[in-house]
Amino acid sequence: AASHIGIIGMGVMGKSLALNFAEKGVPVSVYNRFVEGKEEYVASQFAEENTEFPLLKGFDDLEGFLSSLQSPKKILLMIPAGAAVDQQIAQLESSLQEGDILIDGGNSFYEDSNRRVKALEEKGLHFVAMGVSGGEEGARRGPSLMPSGSREAFDILAPYLQKIAAKDAHANPCVEYIGPAGSGHFIKMVHNSIEYAEMQALAEIYQLMKYGLKLTYPEISKVLKNWANEGLRSYLLEITADILLVRDGREYLLDMVLDKAGQKGTGSWSLTTALNFQVPYSPLSEAVTARMLSSNKSNRVELAEYYGHRFGAFAEDKVILIEKLKNAYALTRFINHEVGFDLMKTVSEKEGWNLNLSEIARIWTNGCIIRSTMMEQLVGIFKDNTSIFTTKSLKSKIKEMKLDLTYIVGLGLQHSHALPVMSAAANYFLSRITTDSPANLIQAQRDYFGAHTYQRKDDPSGAFFHSDWKASVPHPS
């Protein structure tokens, strides 16, 4: 019998999704290119290794793969983002017929996806740009899926995607049509920049607890587990609590891991997108910057020696500080999410995508890397609000946590702890809630040196003025 779905690309994600489909009763064909000496018989071997999944068929030749698929063909690309996707599309195009569906499940840049959706629609083919989150385990057991592009194609795919997706707390699948064009890849990119900031915030908490509070790894792990039980549960918090307990002989494995963070693109793309749309993004952007700073280890070692850098320990009561850290961390997380959702809101308005923020939060409550109890709260919050900061039920808690965030950032900086995300979060929040910003001075400076003009507080018409600042400086008498 013909397969209902075809998957191209047998990396960990492609393989895991294939097994997930087969397990859920969907006949699936898989194909991997044949590269002599490097990638040989990958797909057929994979099928042979998994004979307990009779619905799985492996092909090392593209023609065999294509003719094994039911019409309209539904082909999921799980290959590296970038040129490889365009090459694969070009190779497939001539063998496809009107109405066939190509799905890109990689971490593609959404502007590429915008272009591909349009180009293929013009040729009568459907293109679905789909964010996939959850890593290997998620792909195998239930990922969060963010499909966009052809609505018609989504309707055909929905029953299949719903079968393999994670389920939310109400047993609804963590998949929904996101919007037109590459909006699914766009929100996956934002998801990843929130992921970066959530990871960096935990790294900062770990640093403060290790060097500032002098806690052992099991002690830190215990505090994090307590936080999870006190409303701060998240997948990333839980894996961090696990990581802190893993030993490598007499040492902790974490202490053996080189402190140079890698990144593959999605985090940085969010920043350029935020800049393009003029959306303030500092807390999330700092998480990307922190990875870049970390990767220049040899220079850090030199400068640390040169300046005699040492983390200072805190003299304050540990129990009180841990409570403040918890609030500082919780508010940082709210701010990180506010920033990411604000970018989605703005881009949705400008592109006319009509993104449903509450629904996006819902499909991120399970399966994906940033799933958390906070995300569950956001489902309700974005039903009635467009901003976390104006959510009435959070107001008094945010006010209280703000005191602890600013306290912890101040304390940390005074003790030589770099806190890029937490301090940027504090700055972002304070900047958002300040009536009289010092931007009057920026405007005056612009007008002084460049006659860029400025508006006046005492002129509600919004007219622009220019002053001859230089000539108006009073001369000393």
Q: What is the C-alpha to C-alpha distance for residues 415 and 410, in angstroms, rounded to an integer?
A: 9
Furthest C-alpha separation in the chain = 97
Does residue 263 interact with ligand 6PG by CB under 6 A?
yes
Give yes or no for a cis peptide into 143 (omega within 30° of 0). no
Does residue 234 interact with ligand 6PG by CB under 6 A?
no
Does residue 352 interact with ligand 6PG by CB under 6 A?
no
> Which of 29, 68, 133, 377 is in the footprint of ligand 6PG by CB under 6 A?
133
Catalytic residue among 15, 57, 176, 195: 195
Does residue 195 interact with ligand 6PG by CB under 6 A?
yes
Does residue 135 interact with ligand 6PG by CB under 6 A?
yes
Q: Is 57 a catalytic residue?
A: no
CB of 146 to ligand 6PG, least distance (A): 10
Does residue 369 interact with ligand 6PG by CB under 6 A?
yes
Applying CB under 6 A, which part among 84-92, 165-173, 262-270, 439-447 lies near ligand 6PG? 262-270
CB of 212 to ligand 6PG, least distance (A): 26
Phi, psi of 251 (to 5 degrees): -95, 170
**Rounded to 10 degrees, what is the CA torsion of 289, 78, 336, 409?**
-40
> Which of 20, 113, 114, 266 is in the footprint of ligand 6PG by CB under 6 A?
266
> Which of 212, 267, 340, 420 is in the footprint of ligand 6PG by CB under 6 A?
267
Contact positions with ligand 6PG (CB under 6 A) in 21-80: none
**Rounded to 10 degrees, what is the CA torsion of 215, 220, 222, 228?**
140
DSSP letter, residue 347: H
> Which of 29, 44, 88, 107 is in the footprint of ligand 6PG by CB under 6 A?
107
> Which of 214, 264, 399, 466 is in the footprint of ligand 6PG by CB under 6 A?
264
CA distances from 3 to 24, 93, 145 (A): 13, 19, 21
- For 474, the enclosing helix (H) or strand (E) is none
**Rounded to 10 degrees, what is the CA torsion of 379, 380, 381, 382?**
60
Fill in the per-residue mask, 443 to 462: x = in contact with ligand 6PG (CB under 6 A), - = not in contact: --------------------
Contact positions with ligand 6PG (CB under 6 A) in 279-338: none
Question: What is the number of other CB atoms lying within 10 angstroms of the CB of residue 367?
Answer: 28
CB of 107 to ligand 6PG, least distance (A): 5
CB nearer ligand 6PG, residue 68 or residue 133: 133
Q: What is the C-alpha to C-alpha distance for residues 477 and 462, in angstroms, rounded to an integer?
A: 36
Structure-token match 């230089």, residue found: 470
- Residue number of the CB atom closest to ligand 6PG: 133
Catalytic residue among 15, 73, 188, 402: 188
Does residue 356 interact with ligand 6PG by CB under 6 A?
no
> Which of 25, 249, 262, 438 is in the footprint of ligand 6PG by CB under 6 A?
262
Applying CB under 6 A, which part among 119-127, 172-180, 260-268, 301-309 lies near ligand 6PG? 260-268
Q: Is 195 a catalytic residue?
A: yes
One-character DSSP codes across 36-100: TTTB-SHHHHHHHHTTT-TTEEEESSHHHHHHTBPSSPEEEE-S-SSHHHHHHHHHHHTT--TT-
> Which of 28, 181, 368, 425 is in the footprint of ligand 6PG by CB under 6 A?
368
CB-based contacts of 138: which residues, under 8 Å, 6+ apart? 132, 144, 166, 367, 368, 369
Number of residues near ligand 6PG (by CB under 6 A): 13
Work out the burial of residue 147: count CB atoms within 10 Å of its CB; fewer than 13 is exposed, 13-18 middle, 19 or more buried. Answer: buried
Q: What is the C-alpha to C-alpha distance for residues 473 and 230, in angstroms, rounded to an integer?
A: 58
Catalytic (active-site) positions:
188, 195
Q: What are the residues binding ligand 6PG (CB under 6 A)?
A: 107, 133-135, 192, 195, 262-264, 266-267, 368-369
